[in-house]
Amino acid sequence: MNRSLVLLMLAGLCLCATCVSAQTPERTIAEIKVEAQARAERGAYPLGGLDPEDVRAALALIQTRDRDDWARGWSTVAERHIAAAENARTPAEASLAYKRAWRLYYFAQWPVPASSGKKAAYGKALDAYLKYARTMDPPLEVVRIPFEGSEIVGYLRLPKAGKGPVPLALAISGLDSRKETVAETYDALLKHGIGFFAVDSPGTGQAPLKVSPTSERMFSAILDYLQQRPEVDKSRIFTHGVSFGGYWAAKIAITEQKRLLGAVVQSPPVDVFFTEKFLREGTLGNREYLFDLAPAFMNVIEGAHSVDDLARLLPGMSLARLGLLDKPMAAMLIVGGAKDTQVPMSDLDLLMRSGTTPKEAWINPVGGHLGREPRGWTDPVIFGKVILPWELRLIEQSYNLPR
């Protein structure tokens, strides 16, 4: 890894970027449409991977902020690609059309499937993704792990012709990403002889439970399962979580420290994020987020039906309040942006200074959430230039260290 990309966080890091402004109103539908098209044109989140022409066609069909109107517009364009896939002349053409449809259905339910139309779109997104995945080589395995009367659904992909047990990444989605999107990212690991298990974080996708102070037990069950798979090197399992998924990755880097080789945590909420002050001043109406950040949290957190519920429940999630930050942690790379308005920079600094394990950090001084910035540091670039090299180095060094 280019060591210049790894910045060791020091006490002198400017924390003024944690300051949040007074609540701003949510974008109108007209503003959402302009911003969404602009993000699609530059490949920015959450429209990365979507064809700008598909985006333009879908937005032209949407007239209001009504959730079902939103879902209908994107789904209508997705259906065109489903038809193209079903009439494709070759498997490769069908695969690409299903992939295109999956991305559109996924965005039809964005940020969370909180209406009948969005729920229907999410089901169609899953179906389109699995049809697209049929042509993957090496294959994608849908894993179902029994869990508390329900099941954990995840995607396991292992490198082709692996010799013996292989290292593996436990890839955790965020608030509005899904296991399908992180699986697309982690495809890059396979050629390095490393597999991955992609899973929806609590409260999202097909996760069997919502967010609560004890929801990390879901990941403990996943680790139990992975350690029973003979293809997986149980001494070389590491994790990566994005945004709220970064919270879970950081938490299990502590609670499951003995079973994890390391953790990459991107813009993880740690402490201040969970305060009522940050909720009301930094989360409501956040403009770095396309729209509906607070309603998305209400959808995933157990017992939350209003902003007042969030204000009551969120403080109990703080890793500091839970007394975890002074405990041993797995090796860790902390990734973020100094101008992040969704997760305060002070949370990353606190995590970096906690525990007894040395950590590394890559902080984009002009970056926003997850370290993104529109002039080049998009999600794929950050993964390819920062995260993947660190993970490969983590694995390489593990072969020279006693476990």
Which CATH number goes with the domain that contains 373?
Answer: 3.40.50.1820
Structural domain includes residue 117:
no
**Residue 8: pLDDT over 50:** no
Evaluate whether residue 81 is within a structural domain: no
184 domain residue, yes or no: yes
The mean pLDDT value of the chain amounts to 93
Averaged pLDDT, 27-33? 97
pLDDT class for 402, splitting at 50, 70, 90? low
Name the pLDDT band for 23 (thresholds 50, 70, 90).
low
- Under the banding of pLDDT at 50, 70 and 90, the label for residue 245 is very high
Q: Residue 10: pLDDT band by 50, 70, 90 thresholds?
A: very low
> Could you tell me which of 195, 133, 186 has the C-alpha nearest to residue 159?
195
Average pLDDT over residues 3-27: 45
Q: 23 in a domain, yes or no? A: yes
Taking only the tens place, the pLDDT of each residue in 205-240 is 999 999 999 999 999 999 999 999 999 999 999 999
Q: At 387, is the secondary structure helix, strand, or coil? A: helix
Return d(Cα 60, Cα 342) in angstroms, integer: 29
* Contact between 100 and 81 (Cβ < 8 Å): yes
Residue 150 included in any domain = yes
Q: Report the alpha-carbon distance of residue 9 to residue 353 in Å, rounded.
A: 8
Does residue 113 belong to any structural domain of this protein? no
Residue 86 placed within a domain: no
Per-residue pLDDT for 202 more than 50?
A: yes
Nearest to 21 by CA among 370, 334, 282: 282
Q: In this predicted structure, what is the pLDDT of residue 401? A: 61
What's the whole-number mean pLDDT along residues 238-247? 98
Q: Given pLDDT bands bounded at 50, 70 and 90, which one contains residue 306?
A: very high
The pLDDT assigned to 222 comes to 98
* pTM score: 0.92
Alpha helices (H) along 61-159: 67-86, 91-108, 116-133
Residue 310 lies inside a defined structural domain of this protein: yes
Q: 198-201: which pairs have CB atoms within 8 A and are 24 or more residues apart?
A: 198/154, 198/155, 198/171, 198/173, 199/152, 199/153, 199/154, 199/155, 199/170, 199/171, 199/172, 199/173, 200/153, 200/173, 201/172, 201/173, 201/174, 201/175, 201/241, 201/244, 201/245, 201/248
- Mean pLDDT value across residues 379-388: 96
**Torsions phi, psi for 143 (to 5 deg):** -105, 135
The confidence band for 163, taking pLDDT boundaries of 50, 70 and 90, is confident
Per-residue pLDDT at 121: 98
284 is in which domain, residue-wise? Answer: 3-27+139-398
Interval 325-354: pLDDT, tens: 999 999 999 999 999 999 999 999 999 999
Instruction: State the average pLDDT over residues 372-377.
Output: 86
pLDDT digits (tens, 9 = 90+) for 67-80: 999 999 999 999 99
Confidence of residue 20 (pLDDT cuts 50, 70, 90): very low
Task: Name the domain count of the chain.
Answer: 1
pLDDT at 262 exceeding the cut of 90? yes
24 pLDDT more than 80: no
Report the alpha-carbon distance of residue 194 to residue 396 in Å, rounded. Answer: 11
Give the pLDDT mean for 116-123.
98
Beta-carbon count within 10 A of 55 CB? 22
**Mean pLDDT for the stretch of residues 23-48:** 92
Q: Is the pLDDT of residue 257 over 90?
A: yes
